[in-house]
């Protein structure tokens, strides 16, 4: 499931809710989902929530409230602040969910996302797919659910080289202003013979793009997903970056994509797919040209595109 916009949606939700809370304990229901020492988190305070690529981190510190306002500002970079020693790192892979439940949720407010009434799974937590539960000292809980058990939760130290390597091999964040089409071109050209669709899903080229947004981005860019990176012109690279940013921004705006599993931190779906041009639309008529949207397979994954619009 979760690509950049979905993880970003969760991050934004959690930043509002759990920063400042103290962790009482972590309950591990599926040992294979969890790595590290959960005891290290007990009594620690959440000082920040960040996203990098499709990973989400919850920073914890034993230091009291003074650290919080400072930490809230910039959660992306690994700050030099030595009060942040540990982070709880999550990867949701295909079916992971992070659902936060506190007592006030009993009086469920009816909210709309993208004009749609939303479902709410908070009152059915935990369920048969719950793998890890973070319990906070105010009795609220954060549930990590994952039907397929591909996802993971790790308690790690920033000092550990394993974590640094994990984060360092990721490409740049596509929504950062400093990231230019020249950067994108340079990274893509390391994979000249790959089809562009495959190359933009490579996390070392750009961070956070998965199967849905790869298809949508190339539709925006009017570029055929099968074209080899080495054949693209500068104008194409510019279009790819613009298309990526459009798709990812729209994804965040509509609260992510819920094909089957994705829900935000409030247990509610996202509606980007209602606005998708090609993903999941085989046989539908293209919004732009009224031609037929087609599906092909690349590296074993479905790619959707409009042969008439994309060249």
Partner DNA sequence: CACTTGACCTGTCCGC
Partner DNA sequence: TGCGGACAGGTCAAGT
Candidates 11, 44, 54, 122; catalytic one: 54
Region 75-134 residues binding DNA, contact defined as CB under 7 A: 91, 93-95, 128-129
- 66 sits near DNA (criterion: CB under 7 A): no
Any contact of residue 302 with DNA (CB under 7 A)? yes
Q: How do beta strands 152-157 and 34-35 pair?
A: parallel
Task: Indicate the DSSP class of residue 261.
Answer: S
Question: Rounded distance, CA 212 to CA 2, Å?
Answer: 10
Contact assessment for residue 171 and residue 207, using Cβ atoms and an 8 Å cutoff = yes
Note if 2 is an active site residue: yes
Q: Taking the complex as a whole, how short is the minimal distance between the CB of residue 241 and DNA, in angstroms?
A: 18
| Interaction between residue 299 and DNA (CB under 7 A) | yes
Among positive and negative, which fits the CA dihedral 300, 301, 304, 309? Answer: negative
Element spanning 57, H or E: strand 55-61
With residue 12 as reference, give the H or E element that holds it.
Answer: helix 4-18
- Closer to DNA by CB, 57 or 210: give it: 210
Site for DNA in 216-255 (CB under 7 A): none
**277 near DNA, rule: CB under 7 A:** no
Choosing from 222, 227, 238, 301, which is the catalytic residue? 301
Q: How far is the CB of 87 from DNA (least distance, A)?
A: 16
Q: What is the dihedral of CA 260, 222, 182, 212, to 10 degrees?
A: 10
Cα-based angle 250, 253, 258 (whole degrees, multiple of 5): 85
In the complex with DNA, the residue whose CB is nearer, 157 or 204, is 204
Contact between 53 and DNA (CB under 7 A)? yes
Residues that bind DNA (CB under 7 A): 1-3, 6, 32, 53-54, 91, 93-95, 128-129, 147-150, 166, 191, 193-194, 201, 203, 210-212, 256-262, 297, 299-302
Annotated catalytic residues are 2-3, 54, 301
């Amino acid at each position: 499931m979760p690509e950049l916009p979905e993880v970003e949606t969760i991050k934004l939700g959690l930043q509002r809710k759990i920063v400042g809370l103290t962790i009482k304990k972590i309950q591990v229901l599926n040992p294979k989902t969890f790595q590290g020492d959960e005891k290290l988190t007990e009594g620690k305070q959440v000082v920040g929530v960040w996203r990098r690529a499709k990973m989400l981190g919850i920073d914890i510190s034993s230091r009291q409230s003074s650290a919080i306002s400072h930490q809230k500002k910039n959660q992306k970079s690994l700050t030099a602040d030595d009060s942040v020693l540990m982070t709880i790192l999550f990867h949701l892979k295909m079916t992971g969910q992070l659902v936060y439940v506190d007592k006030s949720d009993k009086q469920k407010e009816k909210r709309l996302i993208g004009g749609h009434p939303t479902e709410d799974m908070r009152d059915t937590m935990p369920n048969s797919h719950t793998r890890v539960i973070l319990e906070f000292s105010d009795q609220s809980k954060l549930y990590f659910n994952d039907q397929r058990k591909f996802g993971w939760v790790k308690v790690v130290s920033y000092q550990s080289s394993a974590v640094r390597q994990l984060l360092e091999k990721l490409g740049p964040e596509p929504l950062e202003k400093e990231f230019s089409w020249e950067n994108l071109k340079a990274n893509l050209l390391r994979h000249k013979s790959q089809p562009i669709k495959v190359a933009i899903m490579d996390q070392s080229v750009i961070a956070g793009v998965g199967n849905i947004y790869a298809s949508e981005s190339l539709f925006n860019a009017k570029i055929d997903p099968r074209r080899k990176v080495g054949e693209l012109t500068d104008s194409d690279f510019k279009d790819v970056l613009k298309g990526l940013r459009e798709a990812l921004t729209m994804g965040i705006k509509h609260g992510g994509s819920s094909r089957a599993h994705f829900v935000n931190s409030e247990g509610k779906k996202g509606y980007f797919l209602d606005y998708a041009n090609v993903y999941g639309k085989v046989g539908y008529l293209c919004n732009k040209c009224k031609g037929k949207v087609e599906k092909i397979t690349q590296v074993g994954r479905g790619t959707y595109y409009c042969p008439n619009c994309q060249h």
